Structure 1
Amino acid sequence: MSNITVSIFMLTYNQEAFIAQAIEGILMQKTTFRYQLVIGEDASTDTTRQICETYASQYGDRIKLLPSPATNGGLIANYMRTIAECDGTYIAICDGDDYWIDEYKLQKQVDFLDKNPDYSIVYTAVKRLYSDGTYIDYNYSLNKKHLDFDDLIIDNFIHSVTALFRNVQSKEDSIPSWIINFPFGDWQTYLWVLKNGGKIHFMDDKTAVYRMNIGVSSAYMKKTSVFIEVLIDILEHVFVDENFSHKKQIIASSILSRNKDLMTCFNREKDYLKGFQLFLKILKTTNKKIQFIRFYGYSVYQSFT
């Protein structure tokens, strides 16, 4: 590792309306340690790159700009190349259309992880910003004292703009290349960080703003069944990855749960054929067949109400 305590990686493409606010939220951080903003700029066709270049020229000691080649490489390719350039002890995320609002965000999170070596990730509450200008406070904290891999594999409850996590990357232990197959990489990265243990801590502070209905992952979420299919695909990749072999039981449980969600979603979207096909697939594997048949019947009934 370098003498950088926190690397903040920021992905941006055609975000000229938002990128300055995102960068300013990083630069306002008050810390007792060194941090560096690593910007993966993916060949924007608007003025995003020029804005990033202006900031990089003014704050060269705190900003590392990674301009893409002439063509756009795509979000996840940009994700992989940018996180590989993060060599701080810890890593934080702030996409180019989100921004931080707490000038002590990094200091509070680093202080916690420094004092608690058994924790690997800390995240916070967030403000969600909708297209009509409305802000809604969002606080997703499970009613458990300790959160870990077994909780996160069931559901990604972490808003990436609020997260700080230990940088576990090394030449011998890099983030798996299969992440490149998916439209986003934050959930898989958190799971990777937690694969050998480590807990998750939630802070009730509202440290950041997340813009709703913007970006690639938001496009996938517009049709729920498509988004769930992506999550199942990710889980199946995690399941066969030998690095997670000691977690197969909980991963399998999460896959089953997501398939049930998908079946219900197909029925809700009136795609009854796909719903029935998935019902038959799950029925073969479950030990609670009567209970599951009733569950399926109820999901069909609910689709008509």
Structure 2
Amino acid sequence: MAIKISIIMLTYNRARYLPMAIDSVFSQSFSDWELIVVDGGSTDDTENLIKNYQDKDSRIVYIRKDKVLGISKCRNVGLNLAKGEYIAVLDSDDIWCDKEKLAKQLDFLLKNSDCFLVGGGVIVIDEHGVEKSRYLHAITDEEIKKQILLRNQFAHSAVLYRRDKAQAVGGYALDVKIGEEYDLWLRMGRFGTFYNLKDYVVNYRIHNQGACVVDRLGGALDTLKIIKKYRHNYPNYFLAWIKAILRMGYYLWLKFTDRFRF
């Protein structure tokens, strides 16, 4: 029987969290899936951990890339290896908290052929799994597209999308260091519709160390480039541009004050 859903999981030195992520895949009520783990050259026990899972279940595919490829290239490795008609993403430190996530999202896509991508609600947790906040994005295609330049309306680990539609627009962008999935959504949205479930489907983990100011500044610059690229495809470009400029200014200020801190 053909595989219906391919789950792409990128990992790098996340052996501490991997079992929780993988176990949440096994907990899904929908079982016609493959899990493609793309390892960016972990130096911890990640490889042995994955191979132990492989010994128990043939649906797990492990790809190790010792050469640093970058996030987008690694995601495209998984996308190009995928056999499933639909793609789900689960980062290795996140957890699917709804056992019906895949089943509900697949059901929606099967009933709505014009929809290319469906997401869901997010529960933010800390390093210890303690809930910090939760949020729902816009629900309908119209609402999502009104807001998507202002803010990415899909958490990556919360989505299910059509593989052929993602590949038709070129997969994950290689010219974006941060926000590669955001760029992909905006390309897909030009040709199909979006939807977000009203259910919370993923525990998204944040880490205390966070991103450094330089990384955040780079991310803000990438966001500015992305929204400028799609300014003719979605509304509220001017507001989104102002928001991105203010964010860049804030991170520049942080960088400046950090430089002269005693």
Q: What is the TM-score normalised by the length of structure 1? A: 0.72
Q: Which residue of 1 aligns with 2:122?
A: 126
- Asked if 1:189 is matched to 2:184, the reply is yes
User: Is the 1:75–1:184 contact (alpha carbons within 8 Å) kept by the matching residues of 2?
Assistant: no
In the alignment, the residues of structure 2 paired with residue 98 and residue 131 of structure 1 have an alpha-carbon distance, to the nearest angstrom, of 10
Q: Which residue of 1 aligns with 2:246?
A: 264
1:239-283 deviation per Cα after TM superposition (whole angstroms, max 9, x unaligned) = 4xxxxxxxx5245852x4343224434555674xx9xxxxxxxxx
- Asked if 1:24 is matched to 2:28, the reply is no
What amino acid maps onto 2:223 in structure 1? Answer: L
Q: Which residue of 2 aligns with 1:179?
A: 174
Q: Which runs of 5+ in 1 are unaligned?
A: 240-247, 275-305
- Root mean square deviation, CA, Å: 3.0
> Cα gap change, 1:77/1:118 in structure 2, threshold over 3 Å: closer, same or farther?
closer
In the alignment, the residues of structure 2 paired with residue 90 and residue 269 of structure 1 have an alpha-carbon distance, to the nearest angstrom, of 37
Deviation at 1:135, TM superposition (A): 0.1
1:198-231 deviation per Cα after TM superposition (whole angstroms, max 9, x unaligned) = 222222222221001379xx52678754432120
What amino acid maps onto 2:60 in structure 1? Answer: I
1:231 alignment partner, SS class: helix
**Structure index of larger Rg:** 1
Q: Which residue of 1 aligns with 2:204?
A: 210
In the alignment, the residues of structure 2 paired with residue 180 and residue 63 of structure 1 have an alpha-carbon distance, to the nearest angstrom, of 30
> Cα gap change, 1:27/1:93 in structure 2, threshold over 3 Å: closer, same or farther?
same
Moved more, 143-152 or 12-21: 143-152
In the alignment, the residues of structure 2 paired with residue 98 and residue 4 of structure 1 have an alpha-carbon distance, to the nearest angstrom, of 23
In the alignment, the residues of structure 1 paired with residue 27 and residue 12 of structure 2 have an alpha-carbon distance, to the nearest angstrom, of 22
In the alignment, the residues of structure 1 paired with residue 181 and residue 158 of structure 2 have an alpha-carbon distance, to the nearest angstrom, of 12
Q: Which runs of 5+ in 2 are unaligned?
A: 257-262
Deviation at 1:96, TM superposition (A): 0.6
Q: Which of these residues, 85, 88, 105, is aligned with residue 84 of structure 2? A: 88
User: Is the 1:150–1:250 contact (alpha carbons within 8 Å) kept by the matching residues of 2?
Assistant: no
1:123 alignment partner, SS class: strand
In the alignment, the residues of structure 2 paired with residue 170 and residue 206 of structure 1 have an alpha-carbon distance, to the nearest angstrom, of 24
Higher relative contact order (CA 8 A, sep 6+): 2
Q: Which residue of 2 aligns with 1:4?
A: 3
> Cα gap change, 1:232/1:220 in structure 2, threshold over 3 Å: closer, same or farther?
farther
Q: Which of these residues, 207, 212, 232, is aligned with residue 249 of structure 1? A: 232
Q: How do residues 231-242 of structure 1 correspond to structure 2 at under 5 angstroms?
A: 231-236=223-228, 238-239=229-230
What amino acid maps onto 2:193 in structure 1? Answer: K
User: Is the 2:118–2:195 contact (alpha carbons within 8 Å) kept by the matching residues of 1?
Assistant: yes
In the alignment, the residues of structure 1 paired with residue 46 and residue 202 of structure 2 have an alpha-carbon distance, to the nearest angstrom, of 21
User: Is the 1:44–1:72 contact (alpha carbons within 8 Å) kept by the matching residues of 2?
Assistant: no
In the alignment, the residues of structure 2 paired with residue 154 and residue 191 of structure 1 have an alpha-carbon distance, to the nearest angstrom, of 12
- Asked if 1:101 is matched to 2:97, the reply is yes
User: Is the 1:148–1:194 contact (alpha carbons within 8 Å) kept by the matching residues of 2?
Assistant: no
In the alignment, the residues of structure 2 paired with residue 166 and residue 81 of structure 1 have an alpha-carbon distance, to the nearest angstrom, of 16
What amino acid maps onto 1:73 in structure 2? Answer: L
Paired residue total: 254
